[in-house]
Structure 1
């Protein structure tokens, strides 16, 4: 039986939503509603797992900690998270989105996972980029993986993908898919290769390949207070190659892919002699890299 005729045991249509949220309290309602209008388009196209960008409701380029604090909200009781939760319940889908989280006097760059059952969990960004270090506290929740009816879902945020330990730890805990919420910014050139992909595209593809895990990466586009963003949202298969198109560097769009989510659990077995989890030399490097703090999940 070939792949096209196999019965899918966990069929999922994944959608990553690439749009242009703008910072400023006056833009919050528009950011929230516009992101959800695009998410609704994905639902109407059959998606049941939808990924929005980092800080999807607030925009990105804060100018002070006070401004970041004003934009932030509690999780899961904040107004944006409640609206996203209602959307997930109403449409019977799973939704991942980035939000500025306020917890007492601390701020976190957070990704939330919501589903038909309500709030499922959150991840706080471990690796802060540039000015984020002035507003946010580094994440303190580790790298959780959430078991859902459609499969095991891990989360990471933007700069995290430059640290190979993050997707590896998520994969070792049995993630079937990693949802990556991003604000990939323009950096010194070259920014894109001849195919239109940026370095973050290749890092996402590489992480999917070496961990044999699906990665759905939603980035934003546009310009926010003079900072430009790279686009290039994509969904990478367990072999690392994009499933379908990689989004362009400009323009709001939705990228969708049909996958058998839990097929990731058998993907690491390449042949009788090579199996990525089995071939890891944990005797040499687990104690250095911290993997022992996150229990491996048998595939």
Structure 2
């Protein structure tokens, strides 16, 4: 039986610090409407889609409160969920979460998967946090470790319209463990949101490779784990920092099936053939047949340096 899921990637241009939550949510609603008009069945928005990328600054406690969501949906984000219900279109949304857990306030870089009726399907919290807790001379300011703690939900996979959906955020996409864990958990589609600088102060000689290095791990992850990947960027010049675009939909063959052409608000759509997963798996990556972790061997722990 043929199985397809029409995916939409909703790239946004920059979200400046002066933008109100209502303005930003309005942009997301418009993108969701465009995706629905194009026949999409599931959409993905960028990482931290509701605000500017505030980890580029060193801020104190009083300055960061407004960047986090205490609950989703909340009064300011409810219009997006209402739009999902009206359009019958589910989505994945990246945002900054503050939660009461273990008797304290905890902050996570989070992505929610939302059903076509506006209800929560599942939640992922970013595991691979880049950067540091303090600004360092000669480096691009990325202070995610200052404002978030690593996710504590693992790599869950959720059912949506007969497909198995996994979630990831930004730096997660660079690590092979992300795709392998999601694949082992049964994912057929991986939705990713990201905010990625176009240049790195610590490695200017690699600036020309930024887009190549953006797509490379996602294409490899899709191919080696036989999954569809749909990745949404926040792009353009945001608060003086250029962010790459390159939002894309990647097939289990590793091919880019759809690619954004701007660094502004843009929607790309592709009808993903889920049957292609089985075809690719039969060719090279039938895990049940070929993957033998018990036979790989382990490197013994050593008390001292290797002679």
TM-score w.r.t. structure 2 length? 0.82
Matched, 1:264 2:257: no
Q: CA deviation at 1:251?
A: 3.4
Q: Partner residue of 2:139?
A: none
Q: Partner residue of 1:56?
A: 49
Equivalent residues of 1:106, 1:137 under 8 A apart: yes
Matched, 1:203 2:217: yes
Q: Partner residue of 1:101?
A: 97
Q: CA deviation at 1:139?
A: 0.6
Once superposed, what is the RMSD of the aligned Cα atoms? 2.4
Q: Partner residue of 1:33?
A: 26
Cα separation, 1, equivalents of 2:60 and 2:20: 18
Q: CA deviation at 1:228?
A: 1.3
**Cα deviations by residue, 1:215-255 (Å, 9 ceiling, x for unpaired):** 001111112222211100110001111113x2236333222
Matched, 1:92 2:92: no
Q: Partner residue of 1:112?
A: 112
* Equivalent residue for 1:76, pick from 72, 75, 80: 72
Matched, 1:158 2:159: no
3-state DSSP class of the match of 1:268? Answer: helix
Cα separation, 2, equivalents of 1:265 and 1:60: 38
Aligned residues: 276
Cα separation, 2, equivalents of 1:152 and 1:75: 25
Larger radius of gyration: 2
Residues 144-155 of structure 1 aligned to structure 2 (within 5 Å): 144-155=156-167
Q: Partner residue of 2:251?
A: 237
* Equivalent residue for 2:291, pick from 275, 280, 293: 280
Larger mean CA deviation between 62-71 and 278-287 belongs to: 278-287
Is there any run of 5+ residues in structure 1 with no aligned partner, and where?
1-6, 289-299
Cα separation, 1, equivalents of 2:87 and 2:251: 26
Relative to structure 1, the CA distance from residue 262 to residue 121 in structure 2 (aligned partners, 3 Å threshold; closer, same or farther) is farther
Cα separation, 1, equivalents of 2:242 and 2:272: 31
Equivalent residues of 1:231, 1:250 under 8 A apart: yes
Cα separation, 1, equivalents of 2:99 and 2:70: 6
Q: Partner residue of 2:189?
A: 177
Q: Partner residue of 1:4?
A: none
3-state DSSP class of the match of 2:48? Answer: coil
Q: CA deviation at 1:190?
A: 3.7
TM-score w.r.t. structure 1 length? 0.84
Cα separation, 2, equivalents of 1:81 and 1:115: 15
Q: Partner residue of 1:254?
A: 267
Relative to structure 1, the CA distance from residue 83 to residue 61 in structure 2 (aligned partners, 3 Å threshold; closer, same or farther) is same
Equivalent residues of 1:84, 1:95 under 8 A apart: no
Q: CA deviation at 1:69?
A: 2.7
3-state DSSP class of the match of 1:46? Answer: coil
Cα separation, 1, equivalents of 2:297 and 2:147: 32
Q: Partner residue of 1:14?
A: 7
Q: CA deviation at 1:183?
A: 0.7
Equivalent residues of 1:21, 1:31 under 8 A apart: no
Cα separation, 2, equivalents of 1:279 and 1:178: 23
